[in-house]
Amino acid sequence: MIAVDTNILVYAHRRDSAWHQAAAPAVRSLAEGGTPWAIPWPCVHEFLAIVTNPRIYRPPTPVVVAVEQVDAWLRSPRVTLLGESPGYWDLLREIVVSRDVVGAKVHDARIATLARHHGVAELWSADRDFSRFPDIATRNPLVGA
Protein backbone atom coordinates (compact mmCIF):
# COMPACT_ATOMS: atom_id res chain seq x y z
CA MET A 1 0.00 0.00 0.00
CA ILE A 2 1.15 3.55 -0.79
CA ALA A 3 0.35 6.40 1.61
CA VAL A 4 0.30 10.02 0.47
CA ASP A 5 1.63 12.91 2.54
CA THR A 6 0.01 16.33 2.73
CA ASN A 7 2.38 18.14 0.39
CA ILE A 8 1.63 15.79 -2.50
CA LEU A 9 -2.12 16.24 -1.91
CA VAL A 10 -1.76 20.03 -1.81
CA TYR A 11 0.32 20.12 -5.00
CA ALA A 12 -2.18 17.84 -6.75
CA HIS A 13 -5.07 20.09 -5.75
CA ARG A 14 -3.61 23.59 -6.20
CA ARG A 15 -3.28 24.41 -9.91
CA ASP A 16 -1.04 27.35 -8.99
CA SER A 17 1.55 25.03 -7.43
CA ALA A 18 4.81 24.67 -9.30
CA TRP A 19 4.46 20.91 -8.73
CA HIS A 20 0.83 20.59 -9.84
CA GLN A 21 1.65 19.17 -13.29
CA ALA A 22 3.57 16.29 -11.68
CA ALA A 23 1.46 15.75 -8.57
CA ALA A 24 -2.03 15.75 -10.11
CA PRO A 25 -1.46 12.75 -12.41
CA ALA A 26 0.44 10.89 -9.67
CA VAL A 27 -2.46 11.16 -7.22
CA ARG A 28 -4.99 10.55 -9.99
CA SER A 29 -3.17 7.31 -10.89
CA LEU A 30 -3.62 6.13 -7.31
CA ALA A 31 -7.24 7.24 -7.05
CA GLU A 32 -8.22 5.64 -10.35
CA GLY A 33 -5.87 2.65 -10.26
CA GLY A 34 -6.00 -0.79 -8.76
CA THR A 35 -3.23 -0.35 -6.20
CA PRO A 36 -4.28 0.03 -2.55
CA TRP A 37 -3.39 3.49 -1.29
CA ALA A 38 -3.97 5.51 1.85
CA ILE A 39 -4.21 8.97 3.31
CA PRO A 40 -3.31 9.41 6.98
CA TRP A 41 -6.05 11.31 8.82
CA PRO A 42 -3.58 13.98 9.98
CA CYS A 43 -2.81 14.68 6.31
CA VAL A 44 -6.51 15.26 5.59
CA HIS A 45 -6.63 17.79 8.43
CA GLU A 46 -3.40 19.47 7.33
CA PHE A 47 -4.54 19.57 3.68
CA LEU A 48 -7.70 21.44 4.69
CA ALA A 49 -5.73 23.81 6.93
CA ILE A 50 -3.19 24.66 4.23
CA VAL A 51 -5.29 25.07 1.09
CA THR A 52 -7.93 27.20 2.82
CA ASN A 53 -5.40 29.47 4.56
CA PRO A 54 -5.32 33.00 3.10
CA ARG A 55 -1.84 33.53 4.55
CA ILE A 56 -0.55 30.69 2.35
CA TYR A 57 -2.67 31.00 -0.81
CA ARG A 58 -4.18 34.07 -2.41
CA PRO A 59 -6.88 33.30 -3.08
CA PRO A 60 -7.24 30.33 -0.77
CA THR A 61 -9.31 27.34 -1.82
CA PRO A 62 -12.90 27.85 -0.62
CA VAL A 63 -13.62 25.37 2.17
CA VAL A 64 -16.46 23.79 0.18
CA VAL A 65 -14.10 23.13 -2.73
CA ALA A 66 -11.42 21.71 -0.40
CA VAL A 67 -13.94 19.39 1.24
CA GLU A 68 -15.20 18.30 -2.19
CA GLN A 69 -11.61 17.44 -3.13
CA VAL A 70 -11.23 15.23 -0.05
CA ASP A 71 -14.61 13.63 -0.83
CA ALA A 72 -13.40 12.86 -4.37
CA TRP A 73 -10.28 11.11 -3.04
CA LEU A 74 -12.35 9.17 -0.53
CA ARG A 75 -14.60 7.87 -3.32
CA SER A 76 -11.61 5.98 -4.70
CA PRO A 77 -12.43 2.29 -4.30
CA ARG A 78 -8.90 1.40 -3.13
CA VAL A 79 -8.28 4.22 -0.60
CA THR A 80 -7.93 3.67 3.15
CA LEU A 81 -7.78 6.33 5.84
CA LEU A 82 -5.02 5.72 8.38
CA GLY A 83 -5.83 6.50 11.98
CA GLU A 84 -4.67 5.59 15.44
CA SER A 85 -5.67 2.18 16.75
CA PRO A 86 -4.50 -0.14 19.55
CA GLY A 87 -0.73 -0.44 19.53
CA TYR A 88 -0.20 2.96 17.90
CA TRP A 89 1.02 4.67 21.08
CA ASP A 90 3.66 2.04 21.77
CA LEU A 91 5.06 2.50 18.27
CA LEU A 92 4.95 6.31 18.40
CA ARG A 93 6.65 6.30 21.79
CA GLU A 94 9.40 4.04 20.42
CA ILE A 95 9.95 6.26 17.39
CA VAL A 96 10.04 9.63 19.18
CA VAL A 97 12.37 8.35 21.89
CA SER A 98 14.74 6.36 19.65
CA ARG A 99 14.98 9.17 17.07
CA ASP A 100 14.93 12.03 19.61
CA VAL A 101 11.93 13.57 17.83
CA VAL A 102 10.84 16.89 19.34
CA GLY A 103 8.83 19.97 18.43
CA ALA A 104 7.30 20.23 14.98
CA LYS A 105 8.95 16.96 13.92
CA VAL A 106 6.44 15.09 16.11
CA HIS A 107 3.86 15.66 13.35
CA ASP A 108 6.12 13.85 10.85
CA ALA A 109 6.68 11.08 13.39
CA ARG A 110 2.92 10.72 13.67
CA ILE A 111 2.57 10.26 9.90
CA ALA A 112 5.50 7.81 9.78
CA THR A 113 4.08 5.88 12.74
CA LEU A 114 0.63 5.63 11.16
CA ALA A 115 2.20 4.38 7.94
CA ARG A 116 4.29 1.77 9.75
CA HIS A 117 1.42 0.80 12.05
CA HIS A 118 -0.82 0.07 9.05
CA GLY A 119 1.79 -1.77 7.01
CA VAL A 120 2.32 0.90 4.36
CA ALA A 121 5.01 -0.17 1.89
CA GLU A 122 5.85 3.35 0.71
CA LEU A 123 5.09 6.91 1.77
CA TRP A 124 4.91 9.46 -1.03
CA SER A 125 6.21 12.82 0.15
CA ALA A 126 8.27 15.76 -1.07
CA ASP A 127 9.44 16.27 2.52
CA ARG A 128 12.99 14.95 3.04
CA ASP A 129 12.47 15.01 6.82
CA PHE A 130 10.91 11.56 6.61
CA SER A 131 14.39 10.16 5.98
CA ARG A 132 14.87 10.27 9.76
CA PHE A 133 12.39 7.37 9.95
CA PRO A 134 14.17 4.51 8.17
CA ASP A 135 11.47 1.98 9.06
CA ILE A 136 9.18 3.46 6.40
CA ALA A 137 10.25 3.68 2.76
CA THR A 138 9.65 7.11 1.29
CA ARG A 139 9.60 8.27 -2.30
CA ASN A 140 9.09 11.64 -3.91
CA PRO A 141 6.88 10.87 -6.93
CA LEU A 142 7.61 14.37 -8.30
CA VAL A 143 11.32 13.80 -8.82
CA GLY A 144 12.02 13.15 -12.44
CA ALA A 145 8.46 14.08 -13.33
CATH number at residue 42: 3.40.50.1010
| Separation CA 145–CA 142 (nearest Å) | 5
CA-based Rg of the chain, rounded to a whole angstrom?
15
Does 145 fall in a domain? Answer: no
Q: Which domain holds residue 10?
A: 2-139
Instruction: For residue range 78-87, list pLDDT tens digits in order.
Output: 999 999 999 9
Does 96 fall in a domain? Answer: yes
Instruction: For residue range 48-80, list pLDDT tens digits in order.
Output: 999 999 999 999 999 999 999 999 999 999 999
Phi, psi of 7 (to 5 degrees): -60, -35
Does 101 fall in a domain? Answer: yes
| Separation CA 123–CA 79 (nearest Å) | 14
User: Packing angle between helix 41-51 and helix 63-74, nearest 10 degrees?
Assistant: 150
Does 73 fall in a domain? Answer: yes
CA distances from 42 to 33, 98, 107 (A): 23, 22, 8
Does 27 fall in a domain? Answer: yes
Q: Could you give the number of structural domains in the chain?
A: 1
Q: Which amino acid is it at 25?
A: P
Does 30 fall in a domain? Answer: yes
